Amino acid sequence: MIRDFLRAIGQIGDARFRGVLWMGVGLALALLAVIYAGFIFLLQMMVPDTVTIPWIGEVGVVDDLLSWGSVVLMIGLSVFLMIPVASAFTGFFLDRVVDAVEVKHYAGLPAATPLPLWDQLIDSANFFAILVLVNLLALVLLFFAGPLFPILFWALNGFLLGREYFTLVAMRRLGRAGAKALRARHGGQIWLAGTLMAAPLSIPIVNLLVPVLGVATFTHLYHRVSGRP
């Protein structure tokens, strides 16, 4: 699995791969901005424009959040938001990333059957909803898990992310039933690879690169466990 990830990292210099990587970073930033805008909108509805604080006076809560401090806030929120974001837009670039990896490392393979974009978007939307719900429940564990919370957080999201990413990559060549069967035979590796992906998703700035590198890593993982040279 480490070798799979290093091979994904090693392809950053590839022009075709680099273009998809920057597209993934742009999509991540766009989705974070949309989520942050929704957060500000809800805040405006729930919080008054100004709050009076003893010995300080009136403070413009929303105005302060919309200042340069909002950048810091959005970076902080990305620690929790990037995991569902990583799930949400896989459908937008998965085929391009897998194609770039296979052209470089698995030349001679027959053409895969691209997943219909609409099916990918529906799968991503459904999985996004599951991730949001699971992570909201995980926040409840924060009060009970204490210092073990990061490990539980990464393990839980790693299971879900590994399941989604591997399935989408494998479905291109095996179909849904074949992908499910292969995933069942290698569930431990897939879970661990997903956990190794979930951990850097919690690191601001770095997490913008992880979704694309994750698809590339799971492409190598798929070909390795399926027995392809």
Q: What is the pLDDT of residue 224?
A: 93
| Residue among 173, 215, 182 at smallest CA distance from 4 | 215
In whole angstroms, give the CA distance from residue 65 to residue 71: 9
Q: Label residue 51 left, alpha or beta by phi (over 0 means left) and psi (-120 to 50 means alpha).
A: beta
For residue 58, give the 3-state DSSP assignment: strand
Residue 198 has pLDDT above 90, yes or no: no
- Model pLDDT for residues 85-110, shown as the tens digit of each residue: 776 667 677 888 888 899 889 988 88
Q: Which tops the pLDDT comparison, 166 or 127?
A: 166
CB 3 within 8 A of CB 105: no
Q: Does the reported pTM lie above 0.85? A: no
CB contact set of 62 (below 8 Å; sequence gap of 6+): 40, 43, 44, 47, 49
- Model pLDDT for residues 136-167, shown as the tens digit of each residue: 776 677 667 677 778 888 888 888 889 888 99
- Region 8-12 average pLDDT: 87
pLDDT band at 208 (very low <50, low <70, confident <90, very high): confident
- Model pLDDT for residues 25-74, shown as the tens digit of each residue: 887 778 777 877 777 677 667 665 665 656 555 655 555 555 555 666 66
For the chain, count helices (H), then strands (E).
9, 2
